[in-house]
Amino acid sequence: MRIEENFSLEKWNTFRLPVSTRWFMEYADEEELQKILRDEYFQENRSIHIGSGSNLLFLNDFNGIVLHSAIRGMEVVEETETDVILRVGAAEVWDDVVAYAVSAGWGGIENLSHIPGEAGAAAIQNIGAYGREIQEVIVAVEAWNQLTAEKRVFTPEECRYAYRHSFFKDEHNDPYIITYIVIRLTKAPQTFCLNYGLLQKELEGKALSPQRIREAVIGIRASKLPDPEVVGNAGSYFMNPVVSAIDFEKIKASYPELPSYPAADGRVKLSAGWLIEQCGFKGKRYGSVGVYEKQALVLVNFGEASGNDIAVLAESIRNAVRNKFGVELMPEVKYVG
Ligand SMILES: Cc1cc2nc3c(=O)[nH]c(=O)nc-3n(C[C@H](O)[C@H](O)[C@H](O)COP(=O)(O)OP(=O)(O)OC[C@H]3O[C@@H](n4cnc5c(N)ncnc54)[C@H](O)[C@@H]3O)c2cc1C
């Protein structure tokens, strides 16, 4: 077990905020995790479990315990003629999982290439990109209840997946720590998801394979998203808002070019990036913070920003979108403070 006091989190959040935590604890296996959960000091103090911090906004130093898993590894636990079932340690880098699957020719997660973060968080966030979400391949999620220190294996239904949402994200649920995820991949995939316009265009007329799709996705992502190693950011800051069909028609009457996508229950998903762009924020810089020039959904730290500076910009964007369109933007990024 690794325990550090007054530990810098600068490398543990992709906004690259120079915050620190009173304690940083990293467990190597489930036994060590159980020990931490049963510890009186842990139970009495504030804590947060992090992955690689690519979806977090620290508003200040964390006066408590930051937990991190060091459980890695990928193991084929079942194989049929058509599928493999892969069990993955929560601390495995998600993109390494995708690269491993793709190199074996297995399909199902190639569209989710190059999404930063760890496998455990991917299952919590229900990560998605280019028409795919991780929930489509989840077979089970292995988790520990932080209050009872007991293990539970969740079925996909119990994970209650929705757009960028799961059971684990509901604050009122008992807090769970993910230690392993189990996913199903297709050994010789014949069908691929090319719903996204740019991806379709990129692959037009080409023979498809998980590898080719991965390469195309990586190329598109590199052209549209800033690299956190170069400029601090957390990807999409807001979720795409989902509105009723009636509200959609009302907004569309004033803005006929409004992009939209069908959502569950006859509702309509709008593009948060487009709404923000219409409010004039794209490419604007306000001191140390700003809105990325190629994607209005991404807020960036130019180097000296505090978490509060970023939160203030986010709030003015929310206000502007609310005033112009009557639409409420909700942060995808989790605030820690
Ligand atoms: C450049 C960039 C591009 C991005 N593109 C996409 C994209 O295309 N699609 C997408 O969906 N997301 C995207 N994201 C967001 C981010 O990559 C995902 O949300 C990712 O799953 C976060 O993983 P993480 O390990 O960094 O988790 P963190 O940010 O550290 O944590 C995220 C949440 O998970 C919790 N958590 C983490 N690990 C565990 C665990 N083992 N047990 C319990 N709780 C845990 C944390 O408490 C927190 O609530 C992008 C981010 C960046 C910076």
Tell me the fold of 2-69: 3.30.43
Q: Evaluate if residue 247 carries a pLDDT over 80.
A: yes
Q: Which two tokens stand for residue 281?
A: 């924020």
- The three-class DSSP label of residue 100 is helix
Residues in the ligand 1 pocket, defined by CB under 6 Å? 14, 48-56, 69, 90, 115-118, 120-122, 124-125, 127-129, 177-178, 225, 228, 233-235, 334
Q: How big is the CA angle at 322 (ends 319 and 324), to the nearest 5 degrees?
A: 105
Which residues participate in catalysis according to the annotation? 164, 236, 332
Residue 253 CA to residue 237 CA, distance in Å, equals 27
Instruction: Provide the residue ranges of all domains of the chain, joining segments of one domain with +.
Output: 2-69, 74-224, 232-336
Strand partners, 83: 186
47-95: pLDDT as tens digits: 999 999 999 999 999 999 999 999 999 999 999 999 999 999 999 999 9
Reported CATH class of domain 232-336: alpha beta
Span 189-206, mean pLDDT?
88
Reported CATH class of domain 74-224: alpha beta
Is-contact 85 78, C-beta < 8 A?
yes
296-331: pLDDT as tens digits: 999 999 999 999 999 999 999 999 999 999 999 999
pLDDT for 173 equals 73
pLDDT for 16 equals 97
Q: Evaluate if residue 196 carries a pLDDT over 90.
A: no
Mean predicted lDDT score pLDDT of the chain: 95
pLDDT for 238 equals 98
Looking at ligand 1, which atom is closest to the CA of residue 143? Answer: 42
